[in-house]
Structure 1
């Protein structure tokens, strides 16, 4: 009776699963690389908007982002505040600019037509050109925002505030999945915009 050599093919399913996991992890890190921290002064920082509350008052995330922009001012010269009226009639950029202007004399440019992070970055590129930029956003949003920014700017760094509220984690997981699918479609020759 011939004995089977099982040492090489003992776990083909496990081998495939490990290979697919490694491929998925590599693809994820390629599409959403680790966030680059600031190492110099930037001509512009881009403060990515987020929605106001229904009554027009500032959301907790808006306040945190504005505080981040004021604390990071030594890292940039001019602040571009982005965000249109997405979830209600209150333009994100206008609301955040008003908050900052009453507290700090940062030079501000407002981009208030965009409705998504992609549009924030695209519209900002049209305003300031391809210059080194510092993105200001939450720790959850940072990897995806930086990945998108690299489509418009050749030198991007990110400064964040810590965000770990469950609703934001879940929303960002869905947004990352959508972003990765869009990028894969572009790689396959389809349109993503």
Structure 2
């Protein structure tokens, strides 16, 4: 059910965009509807993917590790917004050229609309097991700062420690889950355990280490392999909660996810990463979407080339 909520929101967003495009462009026939569709999709991308890219460009200055996907989020978001700005500037004098330019960038508009659907999906995420006391608290790993937990990971660990202390003497265990990155001097689990003991007052005897995972799914699978008692309370950053809940449901692990605070500047780009990690379309669906996007984009490129060629040759 949780895995399908994003698909439902995707359908809702797509239908809303198509309905508006029909309303605005039907007087000009099918071509008018398609042109209205690309303008709506492009304009919707600016406050979604464009804003996320701009925010992520700012957030990268404070990240412990900047990866290639971080650069991609920033560059694609900023580039998409720049294309829309150019199209809007051209529209009063060169409306056909402006529209053709937007048709060249359908991949970005599809991602922008998908991101809007994912934001709605995240906003409507609800607890899986409300009011159920956990037997295990699982803390998901994140980037280290040298040998110690970085700011984002520290907030996860301290949120987990608060939840553990709130359980009193119920015998709840904490599993710190995270392997060692290629640029990290030790495992994230070891750094988290150290912080729990030295800064949060959690006894070492209450902590179990899972130090072999490299992804969220591995976090959960390897923690289950340790024999961690259910139900679980999985502590992660707030933007990561919806995907964690989806994985818990898919892996049939009884429990829920709890979010720790993250910087508002970091969240938009992080949600784009969550979108990329969540969306796994069926092979047939992916092929159909890819063909539609590529076909529409090629038509846009052909229109721009024709218009530029006409300007170059003159009357």
* Fold shared, TM-score > 0.5 on shorter chain: yes
Alpha-carbon deviations, 1:93-142, whole Å to 9, x = none? 01100111232227111100011111111111222267221111111111
Q: Which residue of structure 1 lines up, in the alignment, with residue 237 of structure 2? A: 138
The answer to whether the Cα contact below 8 Å between 2:243 and 2:278 also exists between their aligned partners in 1 is no
CA distance 1:129–1:64, shift in 2 (3 Å): closer
- Cα distance change on mapping 1:129 and 1:67 into 2, 3 Å: closer
Identify, as 1 or 2, the structure richer in strand. Answer: 1
Deviation at 1:35, TM superposition (A): 3.8
Q: In terms of mean alpha carbon deviation, does 67-76 or 86-95 score higher?
A: 67-76
* CA shift in 2, pair 1:60/1:10, >3 Å: closer
Number of residue-to-residue matches in the alignment: 176
Structure 2 Cα separation of the partners of residues 127 and 134 of structure 1: 16
Q: Could you tell me how far apart the structure 1 residues matched to 2:141 and 2:159 are?
A: 12
Structure 1 residue ranges without an equivalent (≥5): 1-8
The separation in 1 between residues aligned to 2:125 and 2:208, in whole angstroms, is 28
RMSD: 3.5
Q: Deviations over 1:124-175 (max 9, x none)?
A: 12222672211111111111122122222342212222212434541x2332
Q: Given the two structures, how large is their TM-score scaled by the length of structure 1? A: 0.73
Residue 180 (1) aligns with residue 180 (2) = no
Partner of 1:115: 214
Spell out structure 1 runs of 4+ moving beyond 6 A. Answer: 186-189
Question: What does residue 44 of structure 1 align with?
Answer: 136
The answer on whether the counterparts of 2:136 and 2:229 sit within 8 Å (CA) in structure 1 is: no
| TM-score when normalising by structure 2 | 0.47
Unaligned runs of 5+ in 2: 1-21, 27-32, 42-109, 287-315
